[in-house]
Structure 1
């Protein structure tokens, strides 16, 4: 992942309308890779589940 991908992933997750799986699919990476580069993505999912 490059800086542009990281910024795009962060923006999509911050928006709250995309899941980690959807973001990963749009970036052509696995969800595990997204979690590796953006550990906060896991926290985003936990917040959505608890709501």
Structure 2
């Protein structure tokens, strides 16, 4: 999941450097959504793992 976030972030940075603002905005938005989803899943697994022990 984190690799998708990094991939979309790199695509957004390259697209922004080349001037493709629409593609850069879309890729950055997808990267942001993937990052927050990864963060939520990490926190859930952290708390559920702590309870089971």
Length-normalised TM-score, structure 2: 0.37
Q: TM-score, normalised by structure 1?
A: 0.38
Bigger CA radius of gyration: 2
Q: Which has the higher helix share?
A: 2
